[in-house]
Amino acid sequence: MVVARHLAARFGEYGIVLVFALAINFVLPRALPGGPLKTLGGGENAGALSAETQAQILAEYGLDRPLWEQFLVYLGKLATFDLGNSFVDGSPVTDAIGRALPWTLLLVGTSIVLTFVIGVSTGALAGFRRRKGKGSGLLTGALLFDSIPSFWLGMLFIALFGVVLGVLPTFGVGAGFAEPTELAQYLVLPVLTLTLTGFGQFFLVTRYSMLSVLASDPIEHARARGIPLPRRIFRHALRPALLPAHTVLLIEIGYLVGGALVVETVFAYPGLGRVTFEAIRARDFPLMQGTFLVLTVAVVLVNAIADATYALIDPRVRKQAATT
């Protein structure tokens, strides 16, 4: 009940954020340089089309109306889960998203698990070793990978593992694979790219948190009482040190979803990021709006989950919510 009241207090904030996000989601595609006439005109240069033809095309797709009227139509269709049809092939946007979303969930889900486990474990180890004057090597490695652009690392992996060594596929996900191991081969490089460029945030936050917890009075009291070191680390230090990492985890999901756009494009991976890139390149307004909407709702949902689960993990949040 405390968690429910805590979430209810934040419901209005989420609603306001979602309204602004929907407005930005509608405006952004229309703010891009150029317009949809080249796509809708069958690939013809918009300047080569007559004024009458341009007006006819815009009227057919409702793009000649005022922006506020287009926005109201957009909201009305959104209420019925109608995201419109693609300008490129006329297929429903929901079908394109439905085909791509499972691939993105597979890629991002696998990456976030590996990123969390590697970042938290190495960060906790580096924090503990720092108390002994060690751990600088782990810190250097984490900072190095955190500063590498994902697209550059992805292309480096393609050149190394795909061209030089020829041990891993570097394009798409294959066709007609019958074994999970074959699918895993196509996932190795994209997942490795997202993981290596994303675990640094977990590492730095966990390392700093572990250093703070190890220097706190409760841990010093536990050491003075003769509690064994493994018990002090895993039972008394690790849990409070993981609270900041929990927040970073849910924020990192949004980051990885955004980073997947670049990585999926580099590896021609058939996920939501690849669909978004193709929609932007083709000025496909309905498809852009649909993919942006999914990403926006995902980020808002992740923040809601962060609020709910943080109250479950940290008793101070529950106490504060119970007294308000």
pLDDT in tens, 162-206: 888 888 887 777 654 546 677 788 888 899 998 888 888 888 888
Backbone Cα Rg of the chain: 24
Q: What is the pLDDT of residues 76-115, one digit of tens each?
A: 888 888 887 887 777 888 888 888 888 888 888 888 889 8
Q: How far is CA 308 from CA 1, 255, 305, in A?
A: 11, 20, 5
Domain map (residue ranges) of the chain? 93-281
What's domain 93-281's superfamily in CATH? MetI-like (1.10.3720.10)
Q: What is the pLDDT of residues 46-66, one digit of tens each?
A: 555 566 766 776 676 677 777
Q: How far is CA 6 from CA 132, 206, 301, in A?
A: 41, 26, 15
pTM summary value: 0.74
Q: What is d(CA 54, CA 213) in angstroms, rounded to the nearest whole number?
A: 65
DSSP H helices, the chain, are 2-31, 37-40, 51-60, 67-79, 93-130, 136-147, 150-157, 180-214, 217-224, 229-231, 238-266, 272-281, 285-313, 315-322
**DSSP single-letter state for residue 283:** T
